Structures are given as structure tokens and as C-alpha cells.
Structure 1
Amino acid sequence: MSIGAAFSETFAFLKANWMQMLMWVGGALVVVGLLGFLFLGSTFTAMAMSPADPSVAFGAIGKIFLFALIASVILYGVCMLIWRGGMHPGEAPNFAWAFQAGPAFAFGMFVVMIAAYIVIFVVMLIFALVFGAALGGMGAMSPDALASGAVGGGAIFVMLLLYVGVLVFMLWIQSRVSVAGPVMADRLTRNPVTGFAESWRITGASQWKIVGFYLLFALGMLAYLFVASLIFGGILGAILGGSAFGAMLTMIVMAALVYLPIMMFSFSMPVGIYRAITPRAAGDVFA
């Protein structure tokens, strides 16, 4: 796989399926927004009115968790519908499969991320023990080390190294499981083990190119988010002023013009990677 091929396939999928994606993603966001208002509309008000009441806080946590669970089922189910429909054009939407496979995929991602965080915690603990022992030895051998600033500079360097290492590790994990969802959609399976095992297998030869692809995507999205927010936010702010209605309208427009395109591109990326790795593995997606 090449990074250029991944971008090409991602844009091709987005171009071929943008209307379907707009319908599903836009509809899902509307449903999630309405559910959020129904579930959480009074929750934050109650928390603000009773900040010291633990029963209110626990009730709010329960409602937020339930809402997050329902929202994830909806959004991951929509992902499956988009991936399946794009890879097998003309096929009728399989809602029963999608809203079972979507949560299964979400659960698989949750397990993978928990495992990754456990690895990070263990590695950081080892680093802390080793580095702490090194600092202790340095202090014993050189009482003036702290005063000279050598230890402080070393600590900052190690922390920076750890931060970069964690970022690279998470991007690497993401690259290895990046096509698990499209694999599940392509094979019409509800079993996340199949998706994640196959993703781990087929991304092995291109794992660092996929990491580079994700880095370039993140930088591009940050630049787009900054410029679009500056332009649209500034124009709408100047036109509508600081009223509550103006703020709400600005949020709606920003969601439609800034965040929705980012979500649509994000949903296209896994299929783009999948097609770049295995160009003949799925249906004729972009015909």
C-alpha cells in the first residue's frame, strides 16, 4: 500500500457515496441530538442546581453512560450501513445486521483500546521505576545535580520521549485494526474477532504507511478545522451577534459545514485503506 493510494481510495469512496453518507450520518446526528436533549436536557440543570448532592451526580453519570451507549449503537450501526452499502452497491440496507455488527465492532474497539492502555500503563510504570532509580543514583553521586538543572532537563526529555512513544504506539495500534470494520461489512459478519484478526493480518506489510496516512490526515483535519472555524465562526459571529439564538445557529452551521465533512471523511478512511491494501477483495466499490 502507498499513502497516495490510501488517499485516492478514500476520496473515491467519499465521492461515490457522499449522498448516502450525508443521509445516514446527518440522520444519525439528528437522532443522537434529539436523544441527547431528551436524556440529558434536565440532567445538567439539576446538577447546576444541586452541585453538592451526590445522588444527583450519580444519577447524571448513569444517564450519560446510557446515552453514550445508545449513541454508540446508532453511530456504529450507521458506519456498518455505509461501509456495506459502499462496498456492495445496489444491495438493500440490512438494518438487523448493521445494528448488531456495529455494537459488536464498538465492543471490539473498546477491548483493544483497554488492552493498549494497560500496555502503556505497564511501560510507563517501568520507566518511572527505572528513571526514579536513576535519579536516586544521580543524586547520591552528585549532590549538585538538582541545583545545576541537569536532572530537570533529563526528566523533561524522558517525559517528551514517553509522550511521543505513546502517540506513535496508539497510531500503530489504530493502523493494525483500521480495517476491522470494513472486513466485517464486506463479509457480512457480526463476529468482531473475524474483523480484528483479519485486519491485523492484512495490515502487517503496510502498518507504518498507514501510520503516516493517519498522521497526514490528522494534520490536514486540524488545518481545515482551524481555517473553517475561523472563517465560518467569524462571519456568523459578525452577522448574528452574541445572542443565544445566534450562538445556536452558529453551532448548527458549524456542525453542518465543519464537523459533518470531517466525520464523512473519517468514515471513508477505513474503506480507503482496505481497498488500497486489497484492491480486489471487495465488490466494485467505485464503479
Structure 2
Amino acid sequence: MNKISVSQAWSYATSFFSGQMANHAIVLIGVGIFVPMLLNMLFGGGAAALSDPMAYSMAAMSGAAIVVGILGYILQTGSYFASWRIGLTDGAEPIGGALAFGVVASLPVLLLGLALALVFGLVFVLIFGGAMLPMLMGGGTPGEGALASMGLMVLVLVPAMLFLFVWLAARFCCTGPIMADRRTYNVLTGLGESWRLTAASQWKLCAYFVLLGVVMFVMLGIVGMIAGVSMVAGGASTGGIMTGVVIGSLLVGIPMAFLQVGVPAGIYRALGGDNPAAAFA
């Protein structure tokens, strides 16, 4: 089982799109960003937010908005799978076939994500609900001791949860590339192989993800300032607000899409993903 070189993984990540950049741009930007954005503006209440935030909050809870949100997730995640498929086959997979695979492959990922969200939500309710229940049943204002206990619990649990998420991301980061490389829709196969593949380098990968997280945090701050300046320059009109929203969405969405595809693909290749015998030995 191979150990990773972070510099090599980043080199593979940045070179993953070379030779097929136009195809990657079509699936990641066109299908994964523009189409969901357009659907949200037309049917999900996105246009209403520009003139009436309250109307948007009501529209966001409608059935149409939920369907648009699910469809947007499928298109976005499907574009990632399509991009992995295009890159790992060096363009041998046509765009249509890659997109068809990606859309179908995103469905089990969606179901798994919903199941995990339900599990983590229940755990959160059990932990914090169990702590709050005695106070609620007792009535009155919580005492200083109870508030101090709650504060200590938050200080302990929040860093622990963040560490857990980073570690799980490190262990399962190759799931998508493995599924795309094998052209399988079985997400459990991808999870299991990723768990084995990243075992020897899990702590390096954790540090790699923390470093990327810091860089993205700084990048999001810069993008936020640029979007804010665009809104101010456009004035308080609907057009000015829309310009700022679109520019901000593109400035965030495009780099994030390429990172979310390139980083796992680079890790997969650095761990021997191009040579299954070496990767899974």
C-alpha cells in the first residue's frame, strides 16, 4: 500500500485537466454551475431574492424549490463524476457517456448523504437535547453552572467534530475517482477501496486538507470583497445585485469545482490509482 507525497498529489491535481480542459469546462462549469444556477433563478425562487428576500424565504420552502435543489445537486455531483471519467480515461470517454455515468452515479451518493445527515442530526439532537432537557423540564433560567457546562461541551465537541470530518474526508477522498475509474455505481465499493488506499497516508492527507481549507478560507474572503464591490458599483438596483450574485457565484463555484475534482484525482493518482496493482496491493 503506497504512501503519498503531498507535492506529487498537488502536481497530479493541477495536471489532471491538461489536454481535456475544454471538456472539463463544459461539464464542470456548464452543467455543474450554470445549469443549476439558471434552474434556481427560473424555478427555485432565486430571482425573487433579488427584490424581496422574504418572498425568497417562502419560495425556498416550496416543493418546486426542493426539486430544483435536488436536481442541482445531482447535476453538480454528476459533473464531478463526468470530469473524473474524462480525465481518468484521457478523453476516451465521450462527454455524453461521461455525463450519463455521472448523473446516475450521483444518485447513490445523494442517498448516502441523506442517510449520513440523518444520523449526524440524531446524534446532535441526542447530545445537545440530552443536555438541555433537564433545564427545560426544570423551567426557569439556566444557572451559571449549567451554562458553563454547555459552553465546555461546545468547546470540546466542535473541535472534535471538525477533526472527525477532516479525518473522514481524508479516508474517503478517493471514493469518487475510484467509482469513475471502474465505472461502477456502487458507492460502497468506492468507500471500501478508498479506506484501504488511504490507510498508510491518512495523517498526511488530514494535514493536506487543513492546509487547503486555510487557503480556501482566505480565497472566499477575497471573493466576498470582490462581490461586495460589484454590488456597490452596480447600485441598489436589481441588476446590480444580480451582477454581484452571479460574479460571486462564479468566482467561488469555478475554483471550488476544479478543486473538488482535481484534489481527489491527484491523491488517487499519487497513491497509485493509475496502476491498480500498485494502488490496492
Global fold match (TM > 0.5): yes
What residue identity is the alignment partner of 1:162?
L
Alignment match, 1:35: 39
Tell me, yes or no, if structure 1 residue 82 matches structure 2 residue 83: yes
**2:20–2:91 Cα contact (<8 Å) kept:** no
| Identity in percent | 25
Given the superposition, is the C-alpha separation of residues 17 and 154 from structure 1 closer, same or farther in structure 2, using an over 3 Å criterion?
Answer: farther
Alignment match, 2:207: 212
How many angstroms does 1:160 deviate by? 0.5
- Which digits, 9 at most, give the CA deviation of each residue in 1:142-175, with x for residues without a partner? xxxx7xx787656533320111001111222222
Tell me, yes or no, if structure 1 residue 193 matches structure 2 residue 188: yes
Counterpart selection for 1:244 from 238, 241, 257: 238
How many angstroms does 1:258 deviate by? 3.5
Matched positions, count: 258
What residue identity is the alignment partner of 1:85?
I
**1:77–1:98 Cα contact (<8 Å) kept:** yes
Alignment match, 1:138: none
Q: Classify the secondary structure of the residue corresponding to 1:264.
A: helix
Alignment match, 2:112: 108
RMSD: 3.4
More off after superposition, 104-113 vs 258-267: 104-113
- Which digits, 9 at most, give the CA deviation of each residue in 1:230-261, with x for residues without a partner? 24532x34543332212212222222333322
Structure 1 residue runs of 5 or longer lacking an equivalent are: 52-56, 133-145, 283-287
What residue identity is the alignment partner of 1:204?
A
How many angstroms does 1:7 deviate by? 2.4
- TM-score, normalised by the number of residues in structure 1: 0.75
Q: Classify the secondary structure of the residue corresponding to 1:189.
A: coil
Task: Supply the distance in 1 between the matched residues of 2:207 and 2:187 (Cα, whole angstroms).
Answer: 25
Counterpart selection for 1:6 from 9, 18, 28: 9
Task: Supply the distance in 1 between the matched residues of 2:87 and 2:200 (Cα, whole angstroms).
Answer: 25
Counterpart selection for 2:257 from 238, 263, 282: 263
What residue identity is the alignment partner of 2:274?
R
**2:27–2:79 Cα contact (<8 Å) kept:** yes
What residue identity is the alignment partner of 2:220?
L
Task: Supply the distance in 1 between the matched residues of 2:83 and 2:220 (Cα, whole angstroms).
Answer: 24
Question: Runs of 4 or more off by more than 6 Å in structure 1?
Answer: 42-47
Please identify the structure whose Cα radius of gyration is greater: 1
**1:43–1:60 Cα contact (<8 Å) kept:** no
Alignment match, 2:74: 73
Given the superposition, is the C-alpha separation of residues 242 and 205 from structure 1 closer, same or farther in structure 2, using an over 3 Å criterion?
Answer: same
- TM-score, normalised by the number of residues in structure 2: 0.76
Task: Supply the distance in 2 between the matched residues of 1:22 and 1:119 (Cα, whole angstroms).
Answer: 39
Tell me, yes or no, if structure 1 residue 225 matches structure 2 residue 229: no
Alignment match, 1:20: 23
Alignment match, 1:141: none
Alignment match, 1:180: 175
What residue identity is the alignment partner of 1:19?
A
